[in-house]
Structure 1
Amino acid sequence: MTDATTMLDLINAGAGEDAAIGAPERNALSYAALRELSANVIETLNSLGIGRGDRVAIVLPNGPEMASAFVTVACAATTAPLNPDYKAEEFEFYLEDLKAKALIVEKGSKSPAVDVAKKLGVSLIELTVPENAPAGLIELVGAPVGDAGSPGKAEAEDIALILHTSGTTSRPKIVPLSHRNVTASARNIAHSLALTPTDKCLNIMPLFHIHGLIAAVLSSLKAGASVTCTPGFNALKVFGWIDEEKPSWYTAVPTMHQAILARGARNEAIVKAAKLRFIRSSSASLPPQVMAALEEMWHCPVIEAYGMTEASHQMAANPLPPARRIPGSVGIASGPEVAIMSEDGLLLKAGETGEIVIRGENVTTGYENNPKANAEAFTNGWFRTGDQGIMSADGYLSLTGRLKEIINRGGEKISPREVDEVLMNHPAVEQVVTFALPHEKLGEEVAAAIVLRDGQQATEAELRDFAAKSLAAFKVPRSITLLDEIPKGATGKLQRIGLAEKLGLA
């Protein structure tokens, strides 16, 4: 069979009777049923006047219906999953910016998105779940809005998915990803994790974010494997789900891994009985200390990967054993070509620090309606990630930070990640985020927000002295804030940019 270049190709690859999409305490949807559902959804959307290239926003809670809606709607139109927790003004911004033709919500939804859609004249489509239906089986009901301009099945160059970048400092940019982009990424991930039809992923990631959509859902479908879709991350329930569903892997962001780790001792029997082949970490850097503790707890390798929306998620990943995994490195190129570039556009040699650049089938062709951003993002056919890093002679990539997050203390450049890793070695420290604090003379000063382990104590002075043993004086945080919890973004990522303002320190 030729390799999948559309979402429909992906779901046509699985064996008919095998489970495709599941959920805790429910029967799974088979590949045969998912194929039938996709045909029904194409027909339904076309009959409502929605076809290829039309944009359909999806506002649904995490779970199997969100996964199957994403997969099947993309077979007919362009999907735009949105965070269900947005406020009305956020929905208004995104629905207008996307030029959404329709919005899919649960029947009877009380989401503010419903009123916003009515105000903007966006067609409303209600999703219902038939009684006693397997996980992910849905029906869509709405009022027709004329004829579909381009009916039928989506093709490789059609846009399958539109997401906005998580703009921390500026207006979010629209990232269009074609069927070719997302299927290439699903193939890269399935290959790097050696997924087979016997694998089962437990998805705890939000399904309005590239990580969950591609790494958990699409890579599983690409392998003819199954994905169990939970209602979202809940550290109290994860162990029960692992016990009940017996997944072979899960993927998460570092803050989720840390929350799971903190509860491991209370769930010893489940941990011991778990049959995880590996666990995956992505979307932010995983402290090497956390990686070691996770491997010790689960008795399986932790595969750290490096992804971003513009690359349809994965760019690099540590390989599975027996190949070498390097804690603190995001591994080797996994699909796209990866290189290091100087500010003036020259490719650098191994061991030289510069901006990480990528090119390949999974990379977006450019931001929508944003020539300025595209001119800045693309150099000689390479996409500039905005991340700073180093490539070793044997191709292992290490991130030294986001270029925007590098702290400039009176001309001295400090990588926040380096400071994080030193402070994480203190026995009382559970979580650290190092960030820039505005300073009137130096421009920026080094600051850190720290969460201590339960029952442990440490003063700011002790933590500063500890850091000073391993760091040059200019890298030692001048300000340390002890917190019960560090503010996180919608996807569970710790955000350095804007943290000084959020903590009232700016």
Structure 2
Amino acid sequence: MPVHDASSHRFVADRSVSIARGIPLSEETGIGPLTLGGFLRDVTSRHGGREALVHRLDDGSRERWSYCDLWDRSCEVARSLIASGLGKGERVGVLMTNRAEFLSAVFGTALAGGVATPLSTFSTPAELEYLIAHSAVSCLLFERGVLKKDFLEILGDLDPQIGTGVPGGYGSSRFPFLRELVVLGGERRGAVRSWREFLQLGQAIGEDRLEARSRSVVPADPGALFFSSGSTARPKGILSAHQGVSLQMWRMGRQQGLGDGVRSWTANGFFWSGNFSMIIGGTLSMGGSLILQRTFHPVEALDLFQSERVTFPFAWPHQWEQLTAAPNWQSVDLSSATFVDMACPLASHPTVTTSWIEPRHCYGNTETFTLSAAFKAMTTADTAGESHGIPLPGNLIKIVDPLMGHAVALGQNGEIAVKGPTLMLGYLGTPLFETLDEEGYFRTGDGGRLDEEGRLHWQGRLNDIIKTGGANVSPLEIDEAIRALPGIKMSQTVGVPHETLGEIVVACVVFHAGAEAGEDVLREKLRTVLASYKVPRRIIGLDEAQMGLTGSAKIKTSELRALAANWLANEPG
């Protein structure tokens, strides 16, 4: 029988094995309709006249949409998609930066019964070709120019028929499901319609037909297709139901402790699930306003913070560094910034006064549409310890033996497995049963453990086994030993190619301030707890930015491995 632990508002299934359970989903408060269209309809009914977004245009002017504007523009897109022949469940690619039309395209797709498919604007031509083909989008809504990229030219190079066809008449073996292309910020060319022409298509679609479409969508229907930013050679297409996406969007504002009318800024792409749920969901669910910046420019960002009275700026470590180094850093007024973690570089600005603690103790995957375990904002280290949170409502987390698959004893290390209401419908091209165990859990490939408080401790990837001199070495075991040493803040061990050994073990570490120790000293200490072949041949001291954290606060070992190899290759002597 599960035991209710009232002090932390969760269930621990059995104190003898590593299984933890969140409160029942039925007990979670603050959740609205569980479709993307229903989400937008609900927040519009609550906050219709409020400002939903501010979009800085290329000429420096700013476009402002209310919630009612966002609803109307989304309905425009939906009617045009219906007019172009979009069927229920068909996928619509959205290749755009963070701008107003990104939101109307995603919500419009949902209202029309389609599956929104955000695509990364960082994609190379080869990557974009793969994403379009693998996602099987039938319609592609894309922004023409992003920094130095011209996606209209890129698409024409990928398939000349795009440049020579007629709008609405595209059909090619290169992209066999694609039939409609629409460019934002450009004119008609070949098979590509302009954004203005596309919106004109929908004028013939009546309100009753659109309403019938949107009302036919149910929470269990596919709602969004996001691509992982993991370390695999090809990004995985991860299909999520409306329920999973919407549930996380309703949660995020409360999870982050954001206030009514929060004004959020980020330049990080909404084509990543974490930014989508945290910023779009967290802001709109609280009746707030999105301050949109298409691409990151630190001076411009600081000007937006001041003029738009941003209360919740969200950036990655390398962006914080650029903001504090910007020429207008000292002169800008950032006194509106309320939701700034006390440890964030922005908190050092003389105009910022903050006591907010970000919800840094959390764990998630794109496969669970971001968080599956977390502590809310304002949770202190006394409560969270060094953990990554407790299961969110409706979720079950167990730690299993990576080889045998059975739950390990409480406190033991193993592989994190998750199931719950936000779990994906599946990977594109892979039957769901191949990705779930016999009890319906998703095996994440991440190592971790549960403690006696039911808190999850994420420890890194399990499947990055290092093969050195004929032996298999688990980086998880090595990193656990390194992190136990005094002065170590972060550690990630990787295998670097070697002519005779196949790979050598290299540990990349971040030291706490003032605690940096010599490489030989650390290796000597590790010899007391690790077999000789497991002791890293080299230990490299890095800073947090160099560790290459992803948007989900995980380290991308493929990039770190390349960094370590390059560092060793260029080491003097």
TM-score, length of structure 2 as denominator length: 0.70
Query: Aligned pair 1:12/2:49, yes or no?
Result: no
Q: Secondary structure at the match of 2:198?
A: strand
Q: Secondary structure at the match of 2:85?
A: coil
Structure 2 counterpart of 1:447: 506
- State the shift of 1:345 in Å: 2.9
Structure 1 counterpart of 2:306: 243
Matching residue's letter, 2:558: I
**Alignment CA distance shift 1:248-1:334 (3 Å):** farther
| Cα distance between partner residues in 2 of 1:71 and 1:61 | 15
| Cα distance between partner residues in 2 of 1:387 and 1:180 | 25
- Report if aligned partners of 1:408, 1:444 keep a CA contact under 8 Å in 2: yes
> Which of residues 467, 470, 492 in structure 1 aligns to 2:522?
467
| Cα distance between partner residues in 2 of 1:239 and 1:270 | 7
Structure 1 counterpart of 2:66: 30
- Report if aligned partners of 1:10, 1:221 keep a CA contact under 8 Å in 2: no
The Cα offsets for residues 178-220 of structure 1, whole Å up to 9 and x where unpaired, read as 1111001112323322344322221232122111111111232
Identical pairs, percent: 23
Q: How many residues align?
A: 477
1:129-168 mapped onto 2 (5 Å cutoff): 141=198, 152-153=213-214, 154-166=217-229, 168=231
| Cα distance between partner residues in 1 of 2:145 and 2:199 | 13
> Which of residues 419, 423, 448 in structure 2 aligns to 1:363?
423
264-273 or 225-234: which moved more? 264-273
Structure 2 counterpart of 1:204: 267
| Cα distance between partner residues in 2 of 1:80 and 1:194 | 29
Structure 1: which 5+ runs fail to align? 130-137, 280-290
> Which of residues 313, 332, 337 in structure 2 aligns to 1:275?
337
Query: Aligned pair 1:97/2:97, yes or no?
Result: no
Query: Aligned pair 1:302/2:368, yes or no?
Result: no
Q: Secondary structure at the match of 1:141?
A: helix
1:215-254 mapped onto 2 (5 Å cutoff): 215-235=278-298, 237-254=300-317
- State the shift of 1:399 in Å: 0.8
| Cα distance between partner residues in 2 of 1:140 and 1:303 | 44
Structure 2 counterpart of 1:84: 121
| Cα distance between partner residues in 1 of 2:55 and 2:377 | 27
- State the shift of 1:7 in Å: 1.0
Query: Aligned pair 1:176/2:239, yes or no?
Result: yes
Structure 2 counterpart of 1:134: none
| Cα distance between partner residues in 2 of 1:411 and 1:90 | 32
| Cα distance between partner residues in 1 of 2:364 and 2:547 | 22
Matching residue's letter, 2:67: Y
- State the shift of 1:237 in Å: 4.6
> Which of residues 53, 56, 67 in structure 1 aligns to 2:89?
53
> Which of residues 229, 248, 264 in structure 2 aligns to 1:185?
248
Structure 2 counterpart of 1:315: 372
- State the shift of 1:95 in Å: 1.0
CA RMSD of aligned residues (A): 4.3
**Alignment CA distance shift 1:243-1:422 (3 Å):** farther
Matching residue's letter, 2:49: E
Structure 2: which 5+ runs fail to align? 1-29, 163-171, 187-194, 349-353
- State the shift of 1:488 in Å: 5.2
Structure 2 counterpart of 1:401: 460
- State the shift of 1:422 in Å: 7.9
Matching residue's letter, 1:359: K
- State the shift of 1:447 in Å: 1.5
| Cα distance between partner residues in 1 of 2:406 and 2:144 | 54
1:372-387 mapped onto 2 (5 Å cutoff): 374-387=433-446
Matching residue's letter, 1:197: D
- Report if aligned partners of 1:390, 1:398 keep a CA contact under 8 Å in 2: yes
- Report if aligned partners of 1:367, 1:374 keep a CA contact under 8 Å in 2: no
- State the shift of 1:70 in Å: 2.3
- State the shift of 1:101 in Å: 0.7
Structure 2 counterpart of 1:124: 181
The Cα offsets for residues 460-491 of structure 1, whole Å up to 9 and x where unpaired, read as xx641453476456566423567898495996
Query: Aligned pair 1:479/2:534, yes or no?
Result: no
